[in-house]
Structure 1
């Protein structure tokens, strides 16, 4: 439950700051986060296949 509250609080902070940034900056940051998540998912999938 505490994890859920912390995640929602973090989401609120991120969305609040994104509302004050210019659109190109927001999209660039979203792209970087998306690429990071894809790399993380690929590494996790590859590590589970080896083990």
Structure 2
């Protein structure tokens, strides 16, 4: 429950910050985060195949 409260607090801070920057800056930041998440997911998927796939 404490994790959920912390996550909502961080989400509120991030959304508040995004509301004060120009739209193109928000779009670039969102694309950068999406690219980082895609690379992370790909790396984790490939690492899972090398380790045997069981977690």
Instruction: State the TM-score, normalizing by the size of structure 1.
Output: 0.94
Secondary structure at 2:10 match in 1: helix
1:21 partner SS: coil
Q: Is there any run of 5+ residues in structure 2 with no aligned partner, and where? A: none
Q: How does 1:10-49 map to 2 (within 5 A)?
A: 10-49=10-49
Give the Cα separation in 2 of the matches to 1:49 and 1:5. 35
Q: Which of the two has higher C-alpha Rg?
A: 2
Deviation readout 1:10-44 (Å, 9 max, x if unpaired): 11111100000000000000010000000110011
Q: TM-score, normalization: structure 2?
A: 0.88
What is the CA distance between 1:3 and its match in structure 2? 1.1
